[in-house]
Structure 1
Amino acid sequence: MLKIGSHVSFSDKGLLTATNEANTYGSSTFMIYTGAPQNTRRKPIESLYIPEGQEAMAAAGIGEIVVHAPYIINLGSYKEDTFELAVNFLQEEIRRTNAIGVKNIVLHPGAYTEKDPEYGIARIAEGLNEVLEGTKETDVNIALETMAGKGSEIGRSFEELAAIIEKVRDNHRLTVCMDTCHIHDAGYDIVGDLDGVLRQFDEIVGLDRIAVVHLNDSKNPAGAAKDRHAPVGSGWLGYEALNNVASHELLSGRPFILETPWIGKKAGAERPMYEAEIALLRGDVDARFGGEFLEDVERLHHFFQKQDIHPRSFILNTWELLKSDAKAKKADPREPLERLYDLAIENRVLSPEYSEEAVNQRLTVYLAGKEWLVKV
């Protein structure tokens, strides 16, 4: 079965809280931060409910999970205090990851800020050498994440990741987290030539390095270097491309993690579409939600077809409009899912008793296309 889950919270009762949330989405894996990703405040390891969480994981059939390192770590910095903080804090995060029983911690490699890419690559490698040397007592791998290319971040190309790995002495503990939104935004054509992209990665870095896959759609066209995630099917990648990634034999067995944004019109009512996205990509929507759910999706297809709305063209045309026309943004800044939601509600396509989350779940599956529904 596809090993798929999402980023979940790690608050309150630590691993137990995270496991319980992941279970509500039907996850078979998940990703956590061991504390707030924007600061260094951390609870003691003893208060993370690790045994209780591991017991809950076993009961839910959840095996391998992933930790993500905090965003504030920048091994590419030329500033000594920032660099030292990054090294020391990452070492501590690795020890916490090891205590939880997790094999891979995902890391944004770093940014060179006022220097240049060559400096950034060398500086990141220098930091990784220190970090790995100081955490030999663990068997935790550092999964360098493929980046979108915004600003001065390193990891926007496979060559940059390979250059870092080559400069690290103990690089058998370096793996890679491949992010679909990021490599799309960096200019790799995973929509039209996924096999070619994977072949290129294998030649430059090695597919055996891939330990984690972040499965995200993108709000921007290929090469935009923006890094703005979208729910599955509601961006430039689309359901078919993401499903191709999730089902590709060369990526089989890795944990696939959704980092798709929460959506919702009502303040405080935003919810992730993780449950629908996971069921959709796993191919068990019927088992998860039931026949009435699929009938509602069929109803959405019938309605939007009468409005001459096709899922993919509508999504891409909306993003093009928002990207290129400032007047359109001001007049109607709504993103694709929100526009579809309004149309469905205004025309009473679905039961008025459905919550906003329930409507958006059905829209998420609708975006997979009529072809998907026929296969069910």
Structure 2
Amino acid sequence: MLHIGCHLSSSRGYLAMGKEAVALQADTFAFFTRNPRGGRAKEIDADDAAAFRAFAAVHDFVKIVAHAPYTMNPCAAKEELRTFARDMMADDLRRMEYTPGNYYNFHPGSHVKQGAEAGIALIASQLNEVLCPEQTTVVLLETMAGKGTEVGRDFAELRAILDAVKLRDKMGVCLDTCHVWDAGYDIAADLDGVLTEFDRVIGLDRLKAIHLNDSLNDCGSHKDRHARIGEGRIGLAALKRVVNHPALCELPFILETPNDLAGYAQEIKMMRS
């Protein structure tokens, strides 16, 4: 069975997101831990979180995927921005324990002309500060398109971060189909080859979730512009192969396409078919 969902608004709480996901025929979903363009987080209602946990068990939800805000940059050039990122991630991971055993996904960050090697070291340093043995959340590095000075533009950069993290059992990877395509990995013509390379460099056991998106750009464009499924350069046929691939088909798939809820419902139905 395909495990698929989309990004939902967390403003009304966990239980509301769960009910919205079920209405869309989804069995997972993603949500921002706080305003994606800001730093403030709404206080979590413990009763709401408990009600969602019970609801999710009844409706056979698989792991949900929280998303860190875009403003979090662990490898920023300015120390105060790195401190802001560290404190935000630490708070998010504390909050994630209201829904234990799920995933927390983040963009590794932009090194801002410090160089990828320096960026990788700073990202790993933050992770080593905030990860703890007691946490139940697995933190996912997201594959990036490689625009500007993004870290994570190829599998080797993600592997370098993972190698420098002490609590490696708390780490994984989220593969974004638009991002890897824009980074130059041709998942339309050679999905098996791309996954073989991922396995060689990182290991498929580290792959925990998929962001399922088409792309408005050609392969290798390094631009990161998502498209609806089948309306971009990757194409429906290729994304069908992604969701049906034996190495991927049991993972949670999250749609991040430019859609409203009705559009997500159509895409979920289409991909389930």
TM class, shorter-chain normalised?
Answer: over 0.9
Shift of 1:271: 4.9
CA distance in 2, matches of 1:26, 1:210: 24
CA distance in 1, matches of 2:62, 2:197: 30
The aligned amino acid for 1:251 is L
Map of 2:73 onto structure 1: 74
The answer as to 2:171 corresponding to 1:181 is no
Shift of 1:80: 1.1
The answer as to 2:146 corresponding to 1:156 is no
Q: Give the SS at the match of 1:54.
A: helix
The answer as to 2:29 corresponding to 1:39 is no
Q: What do the CA deviations read for 1:98-135 (whole angstroms, capped 9, x no partner)?
A: 21224210010111013111111111111111121xx3
The answer as to 2:226 corresponding to 1:236 is no
Structure 2 runs not aligned, ≥5 long: none
TM-score, normalised via structure 1 length: 0.70
- Equivalent pairs: percent with the same residue? 43
The answer as to 2:256 corresponding to 1:277 is no
CA distance in 1, matches of 2:9, 2:45: 18
Q: What do the CA deviations read for 1:338-364 (whole angstroms, capped 9, x no partner)?
A: xxxxxxxxxxxxxxxxxxxxxxxxxxx
Q: Give the SS at the match of 1:251.
A: coil
Shift of 1:210: 0.4
CA contact (8 A) 2:101 2:136 kept: no
The aligned amino acid for 2:85 is A
Moved more, 248-257 or 197-206: 248-257
Q: Give the SS at the match of 1:250.
A: coil
Of structures 1 and 2, the larger Rg is shown by: 1
Q: What do the CA deviations read for 1:143-184 (whole angstroms, capped 9, x no partner)?
A: 000000111110010011011111112222110000000000
Classify 1:228/1:222 alpha carbon distance in 2 versus 1 (closer, same or farther; 3 Å). same
Classify 1:11/1:102 alpha carbon distance in 2 versus 1 (closer, same or farther; 3 Å). farther
Counterparts in 2 of 1:131-210, with a 5 A limit? 131-132=130-131, 135-210=132-207
Shift of 1:140: 1.2
Map of 1:247 onto structure 2: 244
Q: Give the SS at the match of 1:99.
A: coil
CA distance in 2, matches of 1:164, 1:78: 17
CA contact (8 A) 2:101 2:138 kept: no
CA contact (8 A) 1:67 1:102 kept: no
The aligned amino acid for 1:121 is I
Q: How many residues are aligned here?
A: 273
CA distance in 1, matches of 2:272, 2:166: 39
The aligned amino acid for 1:171 is R
Tell me which of the two structures has the higher relative contact order, counting C-alpha pairs closer than 8 angstroms and 6 or more residues apart: 2
Counterparts in 2 of 1:315-326, with a 5 A limit? none
Map of 1:3 onto structure 2: 3
